A and B are shown apart, each in its own frame.
Chain A
């Protein structure tokens, strides 16, 4: 794909790529609290503020709970708000994550994915964001720093669209992406500003009977997120589900529009198919693992093995139809889970992908591979073993072990 606009190649790590995207996105308020491995985002952005490179109001909060509260409040006034966190920080935000989605405040947040305590671990896995999958946030996971940059810009468009009005989380693997220097191609400030545009507000009817923009405004007082009991709470939750449904189409549309502008695309924005069209065996993975996995698929293809990969870019809303179309004809599928659902018979990605395939008349055998917890290293050799197992499963049409732990010492 080619791009007609002038772009610049910068040497940035994942965190810096996020900060750079936020710098260009005309954000009104950034409220954040630093935590490894997200720290560089906050440091870099506060540098932009100190240098006068942005007009953003930077709020140094005393905790992540407050950072999210401040982001929600800023967003409720009609401002564009951003925050970032990781691991325990996201866990501390838990309560407020539901307030953000329930108040329909389109906050954008970057999460440098990191393991949760205990035992204390600062390295990358998906325990933090997978634990928040039901908090009503759109979840996008990226493969490299370039995709982190591109996805943060897209996230503002998705979150703020009047048919969605939901907060968006962009997850990038801690250290593997957050601290690794890459060549990142960036659009010009003007192109990003034009692509995102001004935030548009829907109109709502206030208690005074006035139709006014949906924002906190002393001239047109309104109450957001007040008490709603047995008679109305359920209706508000159903509205959020509609926002998610609309996001499914919008993520694709925004992704395609961005691809046209930048020349960079990630599948269709929801999933990315790699060598899947005639694949007999395939794996599904989330985040930076997709890069390693592509190398393994290439090697196997060179050996004549019909192997493929499905990169799940959007986890919420869950792209059921895309998964059915991509994996329906494959014989055996291995799911890579970088988080655990203790006692849940497999990880989150496994549960959901397998559930998506259940309604197909002909469906593949699906097994789970839990790997990389607490930043445990993984390599192409290990992934090749997984494909070998999948070949045996496809051949014998039998699964011996549904949930497997890869790279674990017995």
Chain B
């Protein structure tokens, strides 16, 4: 709690969010991150279909798959579903180490 938090009389009812969900970076929940091997990837889009967060996106105009790590929670479903085992879950290297 911080002094900036508002009192009950000031906030909208029902928890109506003052922020869009785009403002909540749920990607920082993850431990492991999916890393794709471009040589093994056949662009079958199974990872795009299976991602429960919509964090794996198909960019048809660029013809490529994009991983949005700001929202990827590291669940590993994409790696599990990938038919060519092109995705592996890796521990990210910590910057402060």
Query: Which A residues have a C-beta under 8 Å from some C-beta of B?
Result: 102-105, 165, 202, 204-208, 214, 221-226, 228, 230-232, 234-236, 238-239, 242
Q: Closest B-chain residue to A237, C-beta based?
A: B8
Indicate which residue in B11, B18, B21 contacts A235 across the interface (CB closer than 8 Å). Answer: B11
Contacts of A230 in B (CB 8 A): 1
Chain B residues within an 8 Å CB radius of A224: 14-16
Contact A235 B16 (CB under 8 A): no
List residues of chain B with CB within 8 A of the CB of A202.
13
Q: Chain B residues near A165: list those with CB within 8 A.
A: 13
**A223 B21 Cβ-Cβ under 8 A:** yes
How does the 8 Å CB contact mask read for B63-97 relative to A, with 1 for contact and 0 for none? Answer: 00000000000000000000000000000000000
Query: Given the complex, which residues of B lie within 8 Å of A221, measured CB to CB?
Result: 20
For B20, the chain A residues whose CB sits under 8 A away are 207-208, 221
In the complex, whether B17 has a CB less than 8 A from a CB of chain A is yes
Contacts of A236 in B (CB 8 A): 8, 11, 13-15
A-B contact pairs, 22 of them (CB 8 A): A103-B15, A104-B13, A105-B14, A165-B13, A204-B12, A205-B12, A207-B20, A207-B23, A223-B17, A224-B14, A224-B16, A225-B15, A228-B15, A231-B1, A232-B5, A235-B11, A236-B11, A236-B13, A236-B14, A236-B15, A238-B8, A239-B11
Q: Is the CB of A214 within 8 A of B15?
A: no
Chain B positions 19-38 with a Cβ under 8 Å from a chain A Cβ: 19-21, 23
Q: How far is the CB of B50 from chain A (nearest CB, A)?
A: 24
Other-chain contact of B13, A208, A223, A239 (Cβ < 8 Å): A239
Q: Which chain A residue lies CB-closest to B18? A: A207
Contacts of B14 in A (CB 8 A): 102-105, 214, 224-225, 236
Bound CA span A1–B40, Å: 84
Q: Does B59 contact A (CB under 8 A)?
A: no
Residues of B within 8 A of A231 (CB): 1-2, 5
| Distance A208 CA – B17 CA, assembled complex (angstroms) | 10
Residues B18 and A205 in contact, CB atoms below 8 Å apart: yes
- Residues of B within 8 Å of A228, CB to CB, are 15
Q: Which residues of B contact A207 (CB under 8 A)?
A: 17-20, 23
B19's closest neighbor in chain A, by CB?
A: A207
B19, A232: Cβ atoms closer than 8 Å:
no
Whether A102 contacts B12 in the complex (CB less than 8 A), given A230-B1, A231-B1, A235-B6, comes out as no
